[in-house]
Structure 1
Amino acid sequence: MDILKDYEDADTISIDTLALEQMVLQERANEIKALNDLSKKVRFLHTDLVYYRHPKSEMGAACYLLWKNLIKKVGGTPNGWRDLGSSLGITQDDLDYIMHSVKDDPVDMVLKVFRQNDNATIDKIVDVFIKLNRYDILKSIEEPLCKITQYFNKDDSGYQSKSSEQRGIVSLKNLPNDLPAALNKNIVKDKGPNKPKQPSLQPSATTHESIEKDSPVLFLTYTYDGIPTAINIQEYVENWVDVPNVKVITLNNKKDELYQNPEKYIREYFESADIIIPIITTGYLDEIKSHNPTVPNTSDNLDHKYANFIYNLIVNHYIYATGCLNKKVRSVLPQNSNVDLFRRIVLYPDLMPWTYETNFDEQFKAFLKTNA
């Protein structure tokens, strides 16, 4: 009798289980519908926003989380980056170049190649994952995307803003393009049938203009893993009101001049700059470890390529020009610096003092006022 009692409510249990299953299926269907509708919400946001970095803002944190989840989730799938790139219209030649000739993360490279297009909106990336039924990826980027769109849909509680039909694409200005020359549309131009064949990296015919010293100049030097901090620093300076007209120099922004005579112009920027700012990362310290000017560097990123060369200028200036007094170099450590980085930087007195990225505004305004 005791055994039979265990099965007295068998029918009821079956009904409850079925109802629970139906609830789960309905919740799943609603979740998938919301993820499908996510495309409509971000169709006016350019992929440039994936690379917006600002450690002191919630939007900057959301953009970084979006980028990190894309890199992690797509990169965790075999050939996921190729599927994404092919679906976004990236050519097979470019995908092969990324695979065989680029050391950086392939997912990151695909996103950077795609964002060069004026109409490279985030909804196209979302649509790819919908087409591939990658709802795991969509789920991972749903929260940061919703946070980002809140800044542009203040009065919209749904996925579609009523005014989005008339809205232009939201993008970023002055975002550096650090792609290799073979993938950089600003360098490699398609030649029309009437255009003469000529080297794609032919030096500009314009003459070099010296840096005007009517305003302070900051010269950044960094390797590939310091690019987010370099972008942040340029944005910090752009927003300065009490110290206006400060110029930020990066080599990638001076490509047309540097291709003519890189070492000559780098020396000019070094001498003209008020402050040289090495961005201290693991990649930077590895690059300067031997500080041997004869070691070749094949990087297409000019700031990375000449980091060692600039460091040699720093050493010579520190030892011979100032007698081991550091009056020109002020290093910056990114906000995510680890303990190992702190241990290593103490071996480089010529890179002292250093400042946390989060304290950049306060410290560098003080440095500039002291040099004034």
Structure 2
Amino acid sequence: MFAKRKVDPELEKLRNEVDGPPNLDMTIVNIQRESSRIHAAYLFEHIGKATLQKLCLLLSSTATGKIYDGWQEFAAHMGLTMEQIRCIDYDFKGLQDPTYYVLLAYVQSPEATIDKILSVLQKIRRLDVINQIKAYVHDLVNAVSQHVTPSHGPEIIQPGHIPKAPLVLSPISMVECKSKMKESESMYMPQDRQQKQQHKQTYGCIVMLTFANDGLPTAECITKIFRSKQPRIGVLILQEQEKQVYSRAEEFIDDCFKQVDYVIPILTKGYIEKINNPLKIYEQLHNNLDTKYLKYIYSLLRYEYVRNQCCNNRVRCIVPDKDVYTIVRENLHPTLQAWFRESDIDGFVNNILFHKI
């Protein structure tokens, strides 16, 4: 016979007063039903900032482990590609929270509803996150319902503005759709309008230079050469567009990147060190905007390379003669392997003017 266990009445009283673990099953079902027609872009509105902040804080502050999944697994389940996850991890750290960029990419889809975020959190076993944001989500749904005329149809309720994501985080189908729309617009453009645009075109081609601090002298030198040629070669340098960069940042760079004929990285020791820098910190100490956004442009050209089925159509590099030995020993990304010596600049200019390279 076992001895009867002694029970401390005070401890039993305390034990009975403590709430047990929350039963989230019905809570999740109710929240998903409430938010199934609410577009996740409301997270980026004023009424959703508290929910967004809490969600980012909880996901990004937890390291991936055997029990918990972190923001990268969350991103994969939200539909981001491995290349996009790497861009966030390597190039966007410090600009915003990584979970912020995952959600920013997600809301570009017209079907991006809040209930799907909760479903993903369930899949990656982050019930702790759901438990802590459930009240925030409930408040957000109520706030949206008060601002929007109720509708009984299946339409998704969207805010008036969808925040724009960087090019590399935009859905590929959306990018292709926009390019097709531009092509169709040019096909059906009135002839006189086309002629006006042709008259405005005063450049043989337009290029974007990207370089580190030690590539600045080379950038200045070849810029003078490009701009002195006939027909002239238009040169875009971010530092010269300071007001636009500070006001629109990535949006301005995205637009420029899509419009130029060539992107010309100046490969130097400093450039290689920047793109291979393992530190995931956004460096704001650089006075030069071209150095500051070097890695962002590098991520854009890598993304374009993947999207074009590994074809490099627009990236042509210049290597200062003193850096040739350093560059030939580097294991360069395929987009950087088409390079020319600075001393061969005249031949390079003729080739890009006639689009032979």
Which category describes the TM-score, using the shorter chain as reference length? 0.3 to 0.5
TM-score when scaled to structure 1? 0.44
TM-score when scaled to structure 2? 0.46
Structure with the greater relative contact order (CA < 8 A, sep ≥ 6): 1 or 2? Answer: 2
